[in-house]
Amino acid sequence: MSANHRSSHEDTQTPTGAALLHDPWLNKGTAFTQAEREAFGLQGLLPPHVCTIDEQVQRVLENYRKKTTDLERYIHLVALQDRNETLFYRVLMTHLEEMMPIVYTPTVGTACQNFGQIFRRSRGMYVSYNDRGRIHEMLRNWPQKDVRVIVMTDGERILGLGDQGAGGMGIPIGKLSLYTACAGICPSQTLPVMLDVGTENEAYLKDPMYLGLSQRRVRGKDYEDFVSEFITAAKDRWPDVLVQFEDFGNTTAFHLLEKWRDRVCTFNDDIQGTAAVALAGLFSALRITGKPLRQQRIVFLGAGEAGVGIGDLIASAMVDEGETLEGARSKLWYVDSKGLVVKSRTDLADHKLRYAHDYEQIPNLLGAIRALQPTAIIGVSTSAKAFNREIIETMSRINERPIVFALSNPTSKSECSAEEAYSWSKGKAIFASGSPFPSYTYEGRTFVPGQGNNSYIFPGLGLGVIATRAKRVTDRMFSAAARELAARTTQEDLDMGRIYPSLKLIQEVSAYIGVAVAEVVFKDGLAGVPRPADMLEHIKSNMWKPEYRDYLKKP
């Protein structure tokens, strides 16, 4: 373990006996050697057989696979993380394709909904509105001295499930586990945060077992001041920290991003991360269609954080290809709950106005597709089954290879399934989804659907930011990440219908995305460290590996 990966535990004397076994960062369980057991007072506290970490992994897998529901599997992995963090990440990293749907979407949504019932041990920090005025003092309670990434939420818009209040803490916990599993961010350098300002979820307000603030959400200036106090305190405690906004309400998310993006090192994954993974998928899809980005006409279902964020990044990429910004935006169209977003409407939120075109009002998605003849449709609406058979068939008549991205999470909110997209298009659709779908065989050809998961982007981007101690996060970094992700998609991937690399390669992909991001950081003068001679080697040197420490060997 290199010096920049050390936990603050390593700056103090190693605990002994039961205290050592109860510390999830230091615990090795049955892997403590006989010599370590004697040196640290562990004799009699463990079964006599000394296991290798691989033997421990096998035992975890056997128990994990006996569970009968995904929520049980989630609880099983959380319990492992709470007692042995190194083993948890060894299991997760070596079985990521199998376990990502459990530790993150879609199962994490169920975990958030049941948070009060499955809560066992606290992880991260819960900063409530009642703590205002003393947040600086509170943050000193967090034991780690070197926090590099904070993922925080206020629980208002969790996936496609709406207001989950304090239960939304499952999202920062899950996101940060992917920072480590996908890009090797040292888990001791991560901090999940729940900013609890109340909830509008009536069921929680009436539930005596609810663990959060049982009150209506704080809004307006009081909310602004509370968030500002936390960000300022976090920056004072950990000057190099990257702050990720996660699952805030639409209006709040856009406002907070604009307020803080040029003041601290921060980004919003729902807006920018989703945009980058969608843009990468689009780049890959266009390798199949053979047509340039600037010739695409795209209709979005959903005009919230994800939809407008994707549109903004696509427009920027079109400008990079020689299009004007006005021309780029003219090719991006939005349908929200009230129909096509057009200039004549008087009910549009500010973030929709730049995509409100001078066009007739059309009440629904099918009408918009028939009128606009798009090459691609992108669903970010959380409207389950909104891409029905008629819509897919219409897209297939318009296009030889229609691009269909059903990106809403969790699976229950997806606009269509992979099977529906492939069968209704007669195998023509280039499909991607936000949550995973199984392979599907149509007329003898097996399609492996791509999952447009943000985990392809944010861990690698975070790695590049951390390794360079970047002062800010910019849209140029997300564009670079998207292009690098698309470049890592092979022809073999495309031939099977997958427009993203295999998750088995995610750590390698994240390293190269980290390099691409780091190059932008240095080019734009935002780095806090000298430029290394070998950028890839520098990035990889910042990637933690889940290996047990030899406690008898001096660091």
Question: Residue 440 is part of a domain; what is its CATH number?
Answer: 3.40.50.720
Instruction: Say yes or no: 292 and 413 in one domain.
Output: yes
Cis peptide before 530 (omega within 30 of 0): no
Instruction: Say yes or no: 290 and 244 in one domain.
Output: no
Instruction: Say yes or no: 296 and 334 in one domain.
Output: yes
Catalytic residue among 104, 210, 223, 456: 104
Residue 24: CB atoms within 10 A of its CB come to: 18
Distance CA 435, CA 553 (A): 44
* Domain membership flag for residue 542: no
Q: What burial class does residue 554 get, using C-beta atoms within 10 Å of its C-beta: 0-12 exposed, 13-18 middle, 19+ buried? A: exposed
Distance CA 520, CA 524 (A): 6
Domain endpoint, select from 454, 469, 496: 454
Q: What does the pLDDT profile of the chain (555 residues) look like in tens digits?
A: 333 444 444 456 899 999 999 999 999 999 999 999 999 999 999 999 999 999 999 999 999 999 999 999 999 999 999 999 999 999 999 999 999 999 998 899 999 999 999 999 999 999 999 999 999 999 999 999 999 999 999 999 998 899 999 999 999 999 999 999 999 999 999 999 999 999 999 999 999 999 999 999 999 999 999 999 999 999 999 999 999 999 999 889 999 999 999 999 999 999 999 999 999 999 999 999 999 999 999 999 999 989 999 999 999 999 999 999 999 999 999 999 999 999 999 999 999 999 999 999 999 999 999 999 999 999 999 999 999 999 999 999 999 999 999 999 888 999 999 999 999 999 999 999 998 899 999 999 999 999 998 999 999 999 999 999 999 999 999 999 999 999 999 999 999 999 999 999 999 999 999 999 999 999 999 999 999 999 999 999 999 999 999 999 876
The reported pTM is 0.93
* Domain membership flag for residue 256: no
Domain endpoint, select from 248, 280, 315: 248
Instruction: Say yes or no: 227 and 102 in one domain.
Output: yes
Instruction: Say yes or no: 204 and 311 in one domain.
Output: no
Q: Does 104 qualify as catalytic in the annotation? A: yes
* Domain membership flag for residue 105: yes
Instruction: Say yes or no: 233 and 294 in one domain.
Output: no
Q: Quickly list DSSP for 15-30.
A: P-HHHHHT-TTT--GG
Task: For residue 61, give both structure tokens.
Answer: 């897998």
Q: Residue 74's domain is classified under what CATH number?
A: 3.40.50.10380
List all residues 6 or more positions away from 525 whose beta carbon is below 8 Å from its beta carbon: none
Instruction: Say yes or no: 101 and 218 in one domain.
Output: yes
* Domain membership flag for residue 541: no
Instruction: Say yes or no: 238 and 313 in one domain.
Output: no
Q: Does 175 qualify as catalytic in the annotation? A: yes
In which residue are the tokens 């106005």 written? 353
Residue 159: CB atoms within 10 A of its CB come to: 26
Instruction: Say yes or no: 241 and 318 in one domain.
Output: no
Instruction: Say yes or no: 225 and 79 in one domain.
Output: yes
- SS3 assignment, position 150: strand
Task: For residue 378, give both structure tokens.
Answer: 């992108």
Instruction: Say yes or no: 227 and 280 in one domain.
Output: no
Instruction: Say yes or no: 206 and 295 in one domain.
Output: no
**Run of H or E including 192:** strand 190-196
* Domain membership flag for residue 217: yes
Cis peptide before 208 (omega within 30 of 0): no
Q: In Å, how far are 146, 436, 454 from 106, measured between CA atoms?
A: 31, 8, 13
* Domain membership flag for residue 183: yes
Domain limits for position 169 = 52-248
Domain endpoint, select from 404, 420, 454: 454
List all residues 6 or more positions away from 224 whose beta carbon is below 8 Å from its beta carbon: none
Catalytic residue among 28, 175, 352, 413: 175
Number of folded domains in the chain?
2
* Domain membership flag for residue 111: yes
* Domain membership flag for residue 31: no
